[in-house]
Amino acid sequence: MFVHETSVRVLYADTDKAGVVYYGTYLRFFEKGRTEYFRALGKSYADFEKTGILLTVVEAHARYHAPGRYDDRLVIRSWITRLTRTRIEFACDILNEAGEKLCEGTTLLGCIGIDTMRPTPLPEEMTALIKDKVVAKKEEG
């Protein structure tokens, strides 16, 4: 099982007038998690794009457990829960420094050919990198 971990520091820009991280900001943090996941495997998502594909978000889900606060250094844990010929599902947990889970989510990505803008199989190199890293069941929340 492969769970990738990166972190992000909460800016004023990420918060809202309730004094906490805005609910939409977590999708930004999920994106950061996915991007760094690929980089950690040895090939950046940006490099995969150069081969003529895009991963577009087909579905996103987030459950909010506790508020994130300004200047918190949040931990972003990302792992892959599903892999098909054209799709990847990522799960993501966002924790604060005390280890409290603030938010958990999933994003389902579909592979698209840049030329055709139509669904296309994931690049073989990508599939090879991640196929043994799929975690069948999402961790218990």
Q: Which residues contact a copy of itself by CB under 8 A?
A: 9, 11-13, 15-20, 22-25, 27-28, 31-32, 35, 44-46, 54, 56-64, 67, 70-71, 107
Complex with a copy of itself: residue 24 or 52, whichever CB lies closer: 24
Q: Which residue, 138, 141, 35, is CA-closest to 80?
A: 138
Angstrom distance (rounded) from CA 42 to CA 61: 27
Complex with a copy of itself: residue 1 or 51, whichever CB lies closer: 51
CB of 33 to a copy of itself, least distance (A): 11
Backbone angles phi, psi at 17, to 5 degrees: -65, -10
Backbone angles phi, psi at 64, to 5 degrees: -105, 120
Complex with a copy of itself: residue 32 or 133, whichever CB lies closer: 32
Whether 115 sits among the annotated catalytic residues: the reply is: no
Residue entry with tokens 């972190």 = 7
Q: Which residue, 6, 9, 141, 23, is CA-closest to 81?
A: 141
CB of 32 to a copy of itself, least distance (A): 6
Catalytic residues: 16
